[in-house]
Amino acid sequence: MIGFAFSKKKINTQPMKNQIKKIFILALFAALVACNSQKTKETSSATAPGYPPLKERTGVLSQSSDWIIVKNKAAELFMSIEADSADTKSRLLLAQLYMQEARITGEHPYYYPATLTILNDVLRNEPENFEALAFKSSVQLSLHHFKEALETGKRAMTINANNGFIYGVLCDANVELGNYEEAVKMSDRMQSVRPGLESYSRASYLREIYGDNNGAKVAMKMAYEAGLPGSEESSWAGNALAHLYINTGDLKNAEDLSNAILLQRPSYAFATDALGSIELARGNYDKAIALFDNAIKVMPEFSFYENKAKAYESKGEFDKAKEIYNTVLTMLKEDAAAGHYAEMDMAMVYLKLKDLTNALKYAKIEYERRPDNIDVNNTMAWVHYHMGNYTDAKMHMDKALRMGTQNAELLYRASVIEMAAGNRKAAVDYSSASKKINPFLKIETSDRI
């Protein structure tokens, strides 16, 4: 058991900046694919009135073995929906398929609004449909509508309190809102109802928040090993474990694991991006950039571009980095236009672009939504530091550190802020702790003390 009820020890985890910060809901897609595993002939995608069609994959993802299966299933579901306007099951399966496509392709601005269209249609006719509410809460999480996700998840739980999926949603929503003790309760409930990849990964995340990095690795390793090798879910868990290794300076294990993931699932761009982060930590900037480019070719994930910009910063090519950060900002604005709350990420990009006014503006918007979240306070602290507001920076950093999180980047920032506030001993202590956790932490040139 990976739960927390057995121990009063604080468990630490600073959410990994772009990827693990938001824990993905791992949909139950294997059965859906399996039922079509014998089909090889491609069919055309029909469309049901009012529902956006399946979007064609491009590049490497269009050549993956599951794409024909996915297209066949989508066509089958559309035909069933057209034939029977009361076919709720097919609508829910289509929503689930779209949620999976969003994760695989990175086409979030298209698939999440499309999924909500389908789910809201179901809920208009069946307002107490548990599956529709559970999936809707998952999409709301993906859009960073955390308060709404919590409300929808609680509503679903009143209908079915014995479902592990919904406790995962409630765990994630409470984490993102900064309700960490409640998140631990939901994680424990999930493990008691449904132990496995999804529950172990959440236990890992909470242990990281509370400062138990070694315990986080143990739990995420269990999650990885619980998944079907080569599946999207198992690859996700393996990549999360690789980032735990990276964030604690264990580059060799991170590299071996990322390569193993790619052997099983060659199109998994997040593992390629992780290899880029490893080379960046080693100071092999050109190699890192090439790997980030390879990841970008597979899917348009903004964090891949952001990592590429960091590599150019480390090379001293600041104009190139600025160009890429502007691309990231455009991507985030597109996500925001599709209903995604992207203000915290936008704040950090504006900070990179030296636009401190907008950095503070967008950080404050996110802070108003979730003032207790440690990531949000970390962002507020760092923006205030760059603006010279050291008292405010320290106040937010103290709040970000309140769970005892042992993340090297977070502790480095704390050392910088304490030094600026005139607290030299605290600054040295935080700096020493940061270096001990991850001696390979890449300090951006503009942020050096």
User: pLDDT tens track of the chain, all 449 residues?
Assistant: 345 443 333 333 333 333 333 334 333 333 333 333 333 333 334 444 578 899 999 888 888 888 999 999 999 999 999 998 889 999 999 999 999 999 888 888 899 999 999 999 999 999 999 999 999 999 999 999 999 999 999 999 999 999 999 999 999 999 999 999 999 999 999 999 999 999 999 999 999 999 999 999 999 999 999 999 999 999 999 999 999 999 999 999 999 999 999 999 999 999 999 999 999 999 999 999 999 999 999 998 999 999 999 999 999 999 999 999 999 999 999 999 999 999 999 999 999 999 999 999 999 999 999 999 999 999 999 999 999 999 999 999 999 999 999 999 999 999 999 999 999 999 999 999 999 999 999 775 554 43
Q: How do residues 217-271 score in pLDDT, each as one tens digit?
A: 999 999 999 999 999 999 999 999 999 999 999 999 999 999 999 999 999 999 9
Residue by residue, DSSP assigns 20-64 as TSSPPP----HHHHHTTTT--S-------TTSPPPPPP-GGGGGS
- pTM of the predicted protein model: 0.87
DSSP assigned state of 85:
T
Q: Is residue 68 domain-resident?
A: yes
Chosen domain end from 125, 143, 161 = 143
Q: Is residue 302 domain-resident?
A: no
Q: Is residue 112 domain-resident?
A: yes
CATH (domain of 419): 1.25.40.10
The residue among 381, 446, 443, 358 whose CA lies nearest residue 409 is 443
Q: Say which residue the tokens 């099983």 belong to.
A: 264
Q: Is residue 333 domain-resident?
A: no
What is the domain range of residue 434?
342-449
Q: Is residue 399 domain-resident?
A: yes
Residue by residue, DSSP assigns 251-282 as HHHHHHHHHHHHHH-TT-HHHHHHHHHHHHHH
Chosen domain end from 123, 143, 163 = 143
* pLDDT score recorded for residue 444: 59
Number of structural domains in the chain: 2
Q: Is residue 166 domain-resident?
A: no
Q: Is residue 282 domain-resident?
A: no
Chosen domain end from 97, 125, 143 = 143
Q: How many CA atoms does the CB half-sphere of 247 hold within 13 Å?
A: 29
- Rg over CA atoms, the chain: 22
